[in-house]
Structure 1
Amino acid sequence: MQISRLFTYSFDPNVGPYDRIFRILSGLALVFFALAGPVAMPGWLVAALIVFGLAWLMTGALSRCGMYYMLGLSTRKG
């Protein structure tokens, strides 16, 4: 494992199709809830939900998860 590949996203896709769909939908849900949630939340919580939601959305959209790469895991077949 090369750490430099982690920062450039140059490692092979390691997120499978069902995992990808889940990440995209849950990332969108987190961002939506942070921006239009029915409950008033402190600013730090809104910011955290947006950051985690966008990160989750990005890993789903690109089919690459840095944590999976570091742990040597993959949900992608083949």
Structure 2
Amino acid sequence: MNANIGTIDRSLRIVVGLILIGLSLSGVIGLWGWIGIVPLATGIFRFCPLYALLGIKTCKRC
């Protein structure tokens, strides 16, 4: 499992994931906010399975 997510992409995924989870916990968007776990996890692990299938890499050093 090689990294395929670059720094900017990683940062945006983590921020969006945390915002969605936070909105879900506060009751603003309900259970759908838990979908934020997906971008949060892909940002933390620096690997996106969809990017791997499509052959996309936003990581310059990889």
- TM-score, L = length of structure 1: 0.71
Q: How big is the shift at 1:49?
A: 1.9
Name whichever of 15-24 and 28-37 sits farther off.
Answer: 28-37
What is aligned with 1:17?
A: 7
Q: CA deviation at 1:55?
A: 1.1
Q: 5+ unaligned residues in a row in structure 1: which ranges? A: 1-10
Identity between Structure 1 and Structure 2 (%): 36
Whole-angstrom distance in 1 between the partners of 2:57 and 2:39: 16
Opposite residue 67 of structure 1, the aligned amino acid is L
Partner residue of 2:40?
Answer: 57
Which runs of structure 1 show a deviation greater than 3 angstroms over 4 or more consecutive aligned residues?
none
Partner of 1:67: 50
Query: For this pair of structures, how many residues does the alignment match?
Result: 61
Structure 2, unaligned runs of 5 or more:
none
TM-score, normalised to structure 2, is 0.88
Larger C-alpha radius of gyration, 1 or 2? 1
